[in-house]
Amino acid sequence: MLETENKNTLYNYRSGVDFALEQDQNDPLAAYRSQFLFPKDKNGEDCIYMTGNSLGLQPKQTRAYVDDVLSDWANLGVEGHFNAKNPWLTYHENLGDSMAKIVGAKPIEVVVMNTLTTNLHFLMASFYKPTKTRYKILIEADAFPSDKYVVESQLRHHGFDDTEGLVLWKPRAHEALANYEDLEAILETQGDEIALILIGAINYYTGQFFDLKRITELGHKHGCIVGFDCAHAAGNVALNLHDSGADFAAWCTYKYLNSGPGSIAGCFVHERHAYNKNLNRFAGWWGHNKETRFGMRDAFDQIPGAAGWQVSNPPILSMAGIKASLEIFNDVGMDKLIEKSKKLTGYLEFLLNQLGEDTIRIITPSNPNERGCQLSILVQNTDKTLHDKFTEAGVISDWREPNVIRCAPAPLYNSFQDVYYLVERLKKILNSSP
């Protein structure tokens, strides 16, 4: 028996399927599983779906929400902007209020717009202000590739060398996780040269959830602007973006937020910047005061807050997908989701640890407050053929070279039985390997 502390609760995990059955029977969120559509395995049964960290499952109500928009378009044409069931002119505003609750922000600080990498570029246009002496950008060494491409291209755009101007926060030798003492050391020696810190709130590869407030306070102490890519964190952990003090953040909604492939994204700008019209920005008419927006000949009158970074009409069909999902989040609330997530992920950790470190090693932090629901499992002496066998066995997980399987039991739709049978199938594959 392993006892894992989660806040003030002690979870007594047990081996055997009876424990999983018991937990699912007593799970207050169990009914939400039936609100999602699952891919089927070769036998026509629901797959064990563990890749909400790449693409969340489709809520069953999504089709109806998209159909509402299509019907209003068909029946109202352009009048749908004002007379649709959910008027298109203000469609994004309700999404912003719901999203603010998920990421721990004030409504004025959040807007749903564009896509993730686009939002990072837009925000950096405002917050990355390099000078000849302070121009470097600090990111974690194994950041998601798109983040690295963003900062490298921004460095080049401003006329700097994209190698010399990039500062990497690296794990120590033979370690997987980044260390805050090393970050402090970097800033002590190079802080006056670093204009921007841009960190993935949860590292996509290891699943490490960074202390946003600690990083922000450290960065601000050295005069750096601080932003976060929350793609793997939004809808997964308590981000508390407002309280973190971060200058900005951006995230996609197609992972834990279940809005559909490539769907619209979100961004956060701290309220201390809300009325600063001196911030440079890429402007467009949807960031203009909506009371005079259709006057058409007025000078740009920026909407206060994050909404002032909008440029174009929002894609309503895409927003219908996120609306369907956010209503489920509104119903459940992040506190209950996180409570189940920690218990569910702790159970996965418990079962995996029974396989032994000579077989697998979990490189995600063991402290539940330093991770979300993703566990990154380093499998010894294997290659992608193991993952192919896992998929063939009806488990949809995620492979990352050279030998890591990422599994993310999402609390909205994954069950304790999912976790139990996932490990049983992995065990069977490992035992049958030559």
Q: Where are the domains of the chain?
A: 2-37+334-432, 66-330
Nearest to 63 by CA among 102, 85, 36, 96: 36
pLDDT value at 87 more than 60 = yes
**DSSP reduced 3-state for 49:** strand
Of the pLDDT bands very low, low, confident and very high (cuts 50, 70, 90), residue 433 is low
pLDDT, tens digit (0-9, with 9 covering 90-100), for 224-243: 999 999 999 999 999 999 99
Residue 74, both tokens:
């068909």
User: Rounded mean pLDDT of the chain?
Assistant: 94
**DSSP reduced 3-state for 74:** helix
pLDDT value at 434 more than 70 = no
CB 353 within 8 A of CB 2: yes
Of the pLDDT bands very low, low, confident and very high (cuts 50, 70, 90), residue 148 is very high
Measured CA to CA, the distance from residue 227 to residue 198 in angstroms comes to 5
pLDDT, tens digit (0-9, with 9 covering 90-100), for 351-391: 999 998 888 999 999 999 999 999 999 998 888 888 899 99
Helix (H) or strand (E) holding 95: helix 91-103
- Model pTM score: 0.95
Measured CA to CA, the distance from residue 97 to residue 111 in angstroms comes to 8
Strand order in the sheet with 265-269: 110-113, 265-269, 248-251, 225-229, 194-200, 136-140, 166-169
Question: What is the predicted pLDDT for the residue at 6?
Answer: 43
pLDDT value at 96 more than 50 = yes
Q: Count Cβ atoms below 10 Å from residue 79 Cβ, excluding itself.
A: 12
Question: What is the predicted pLDDT for the residue at 236?
Answer: 98
Comparing 432 with 256, the larger pLDDT belongs to: 256
Residue 250, both tokens:
């951006």
Comparing 94 with 303, the larger pLDDT belongs to: 303
Nearest to 274 by CA among 163, 83, 111: 111
Question: What is the predicted pLDDT for the residue at 10?
Answer: 58
Measured CA to CA, the distance from residue 329 to residue 90 in angstroms comes to 20
419-429 mean pLDDT: 95
CATH superfamily of 2-37+334-432: Aspartate Aminotransferase, domain 1 (3.90.1150.10)
Which CATH architecture group holds 66-330?
A: 3-Layer(aba) Sandwich (3.40)
Question: What is the predicted pLDDT for the residue at 4?
Answer: 43
Q: Do 2-37+334-432 and 66-330 come out as alike in CATH topology? A: no
Measured CA to CA, the distance from residue 163 to residue 409 in angstroms comes to 37
Between CA 419 and CA 424, with CA 422 as vertex, the angle to 5 degrees is: 110
Measured CA to CA, the distance from residue 317 to residue 32 in angstroms comes to 24
Question: What is the predicted pLDDT for the residue at 298?
Answer: 87
Comparing 81 with 295, the larger pLDDT belongs to: 81
pLDDT, tens digit (0-9, with 9 covering 90-100), for 307-357: 999 999 999 999 999 999 999 999 999 999 999 999 999 999 999 999 988
Dihedral angle at the C-alpha atoms of 353, 355, 357, 359, nearest 10 degrees? -140
